[in-house]
Structure 1
Amino acid sequence: MKTYRRQIREKILQALYTIEIRDTDIDSAAGWLLTEEILADPNAMKFFNMLLKNIKEHMEEIDRYIVKHTFNWDMSRIAIIDKNIIRMALTEILYCEDIPPKVSINEAIEIAKKFNSTDKSSKFVNGILDAIFNDLKNEGKVHKNGRGLIDQSVTKLQKVEGEGENPESAS
């Protein structure tokens, strides 16, 4: 079955938006947004539930990263759509080991273009996510495994760098 990750991200964004403007919980807000296709796809539902669960559990931590990187901006001044796109992408970067960070950032940019709260939303989202990602990577807080992901890339780079060294000259 086909997975609907972009659609799921958009539905979760809509749910996050809903809870900011209405008095409702995220599960209720997200539940009524799901399509029959997503509901019928076990992989899609697994991704939906995992992403939603991690956003709920880690929102305070994620918001601290956003605050740290939005100098002179109060969280209430950041457009609701942009803030929630950043939250969702950071959740993927930090808690979805199988999704490359660049994919999460690119998806966030594309969703920001679609739901643009301002004409500069995609640039704002990109800039904030890039800054946070670089800090997280430097702090060793991004743990990814698999094809095209960070840990594998670092290991491959270390192997390539090590191949050019002469073991006898190292002593």
Structure 2
Amino acid sequence: MGATGALRPTRDPVKQPGTRHKARQRAVDLLFEAEAKNVAALDLVAQRRELVVDDESIGMIHPYTARVIEGLATDRAQIDAVLESHLREWTLPRLPAVDRAILRLAAWELFNTHDVPPVVVVDEAVELAKELSTDESPAFVNGVLGRIVELAPQVRAAAQATAPAADPDRE
């Protein structure tokens, strides 16, 4: 077909550049807010979903944001234990809250996502630290995740080995 009649492939909105980044940023925001308010992040997600029905300015919760929050609700103790064991000269409670949220998000992604390469997870976490935290945070986040990323293949393999065969996220 000519240039004016050419068919263009449709894009999956989940795969468009920036969509997952925004979903990650919203997840960090919700994790930070939940900690500041001392409430469960899952409760905030449910609350936002109810509020958006009447007030579109609240903004929809992206499915990936909800997936991360739900995953962290399930795996938080294990994620925190891994983070604690890979911090040098710091403890998790001493970290800035936004750095804690970024590290939790990235560690969960490293261990649980099969469609995002580990290098992308680390790059995204560093970018979030640049956008949301202190000048020192990107290097700190990169260092911690650089130590954790070596565990990701083993954790993913173990999870796949114990997962039910019909789990669509494991295909």
1:78 is matched with 95
AA in 2 matched with 1:128: V
Candidates 140, 151, 155, aligned match of 1:141: 155
Q: Distance in 2 between matches of 1:6 and 1:124?
A: 20
Match of 2:117 among 100, 114, 118: 100
Q: What runs of 5+ residues in structure 2 fail to find an aligned partner?
A: 1-11, 161-171
SS at match of 1:72: coil
Task: Show the 5 A alignment for 1:45-60.
Answer: 45=63, 47-60=64-77
Give TM-score, length-normalised by structure 1. Answer: 0.71
The answer as to whether partners of 2:79 and 2:107 remain within 8 angstroms in 1 is yes
What are the superposed Cα offsets for residues 65-98 of structure 1, whole Å, 9 maximum, x if unpaired?
1110113322211111111101101111101111
Unaligned runs of 5+ in 1: 146-171
- For the aligned residues, what is the CA RMSD? 2.7
Q: Secondary structure at the match of 1:98?
A: coil
Give the letter for the 2:30 counterpart: A
Conserved 8 A contact 2:84-2:92: yes
User: Which residue among 123, 128, 133 is the counterpart of 2:139?
Assistant: 123
1:109 aligns with 2:130: no
Counterpart of 1:63 in structure 2: which amino acid?
D
**Which residue, out of 15, 27, 44, partners 1:12?**
27
Structure 2 CA distance, aligned partners of 1:72 and 1:109?
20
Q: What's 1:29 paired with? A: 44
What percent identity do the matched residue pairs reach?
23
State yes or no: 1:132 paired with 2:148. yes
Is the alpha carbon distance of 1:135 and 1:96 closer, same or farther for their aligned partners in structure 2, counting shifts above 3 Å?
Answer: closer
Deviations 1:99-155 (A, max 9, x none): 111111111011110001x21100000000011112444xx223499xxxxxxxxxx
* Alignment: residue pair count: 138
Q: Which runs of 4+ in 1 moved over 4 A?
A: 33-36
Give the distance between the partners of 1:60 and 1:28, measured in 2 at CA: 18
